[in-house]
Amino acid sequence: MKNHDIEPDEKPLEELEDRDLHLQAEEEAPVEESAELEGEIVEVVFRGNRRAAYINAHNVQLARGNHVIVEADKGEDLGRVCQTGGKPRAGRRAKKKTVLRLAESHEISRWNALRTKEEEALRDFQQRISRRKMPMKPVDVEYQLDGKKICFYFTADHRVDFRELVRELASVYRTRIELRQIGVRDEAKRLGGIGVCGRELCCATFLAEFAPITSQMARDQNLSLNPSKLSGICGRLKCCLRFEQEFYRESHERFPRLGTAFAANGHSGTVVKIDFLHETVTLRTEDQDEWTVSLKGTTATHSSRHPKNSNAN
């Protein structure tokens, strides 16, 4: 694999690894499944792609996509069903809180109307931070459906003492105020967007939880070690490096390593390139010829060329 130089204004690859996972607190504090509450487990997604699991203790007839009213902090909130039945995904445990009922049309209308109030609160939040010159970046504001709680999300390089700001916001909005510091991955998840692949961000669609992503994963996948190509819009290593890692880990067990001697289908030489997707390896002989050998077939393609013209990684 070729060594790729890093531009002076680019961060080293290791600096793009997850170093702020301790900030990525669960949207809801997980608790053990309750033996007292029976019913199917329902996963509900809220605004900003916030997800939580609830118990359908009242046996409400639910289908994916239904808007539901669920128990919230000292009140009620509205979300959309994204999964029913069985156990919640990826370590999410059912909460003692339950699904109360299907949302009615006026409740959905009220929930949609909150978007305007949230936009106004976000601008106000930003202005108050600027006046106080606090080292934090406002990200989003989320109202609970019944207005009994407003959550202000922000990012910061370090932990911030925002107690005075909370008291100030509480005196203005006259309801329960919560300030939540999140990581840059959570910021991308809440705001959404389109990745360099042209598809909607994985974190804003199907990824329920974050896990550490390391630069070694890129090396295992024989990718160009170019930070600008391996980082997502959040500035961290792309999530796809993580959920494709298992495929490459298994492939490494079946393929020879770069730089080692290898013989297959009547050809032998030094491994100079590996193509995991097409299941081929490229061998360079002592005569500087290159052969691409299929590990799943019996044929080989001969390419005679000098190393200086080789495209091998």
What pLDDT was estimated at residue 130?
95
Which residue do the tokens 């009994």 mark?
148
Q: What integer pLDDT is reported at residue 13 of this predicted model?
A: 65
Task: Kindly state the average pLDDT of the residues 263-267.
Answer: 79
Q: Residues 132, 106: contact at Cβ < 8 Å?
A: no
* Long-range pairs of 306-312 with CB within 8 A, sequence gap ≥ 24: 310/272, 310/284, 311/273, 312/272, 312/273, 312/282, 312/284
Residue with the larger pLDDT of the pair 111 and 264: 111
CA distance linking residue 84 with residue 96, whole number of Å = 16
Inform me whether the pLDDT recorded for 141 exceeds 90.
yes
Q: Of 183 and 23, which is predicted with more confidence? A: 183
Which candidate, 280, 284, 252, places its Cα nearest to that of 267?
284
Residue 206's pLDDT band (cuts 50, 70, 90) = confident
CB atoms within 10 A of CB 92: 19
Winning range, highest mean pLDDT, from 121-125, 158-162, 232-236, 273-277? 121-125
251 closest CA partner among 223, 221, 296, 271: 221
Structure confidence at residue 291 as a pLDDT band (50, 70, 90): confident
Which range has the worst mean pLDDT, 30-34, 111-115, 169-173?
Answer: 30-34
What is the overall mean pLDDT for the chain? 80
Cβ distance 180 to 152 under 8 Å? yes
Nearest Cα to 309, choosing from 293, 288, 281, 294?
Answer: 288
Q: Span 104-121, mean pLDDT? A: 96
pTM of the predicted model, to two decimals?
0.72
Taking alpha carbons only, the member of 213, 277, 218 closest to residue 251 is 277
Q: Is residue 29's pLDDT more than 60?
A: no
Q: What is the 3-state secondary structure (H, E, C) of the chain?
A: CCCCCCCCCCCCHHHHCCCCHHHCCCCCCCCCCCCCCCCCEEEEECHHHCEEEEECCCCCCCCCCCEEEEEECCEEEEEEEEEECCCCCCCCCCCCCEEEEECCHHHHHHHHHHHHHHHHHHHHHHHHHHHHCCCCEEEEEEECCCCCEEEEEEECCCCCCCHHHHHHHHHHHCCEEEEEECCHHHHHHHHCCECCCCCECHHHCCCCCCCCCCHHHHHHCCCCCCHHHHECCCCCECCHHHHCHHHHHHHHHHCCCCCCEEEECCEEEEEEEEECCCCEEEEECCCCEEEEEECCCCCEEEEECCHHHCCCC
pLDDT digits (tens, 9 = 90+) for 74-111: 899 999 999 887 655 544 455 578 999 999 999 999 99
Tokens of 86: 């069985």
Percent of the chain with pLDDT over 90: 35
The span from the CA of 282 to the CA of 286, in Å, is 13
Work out the average pLDDT over 241-261.
83
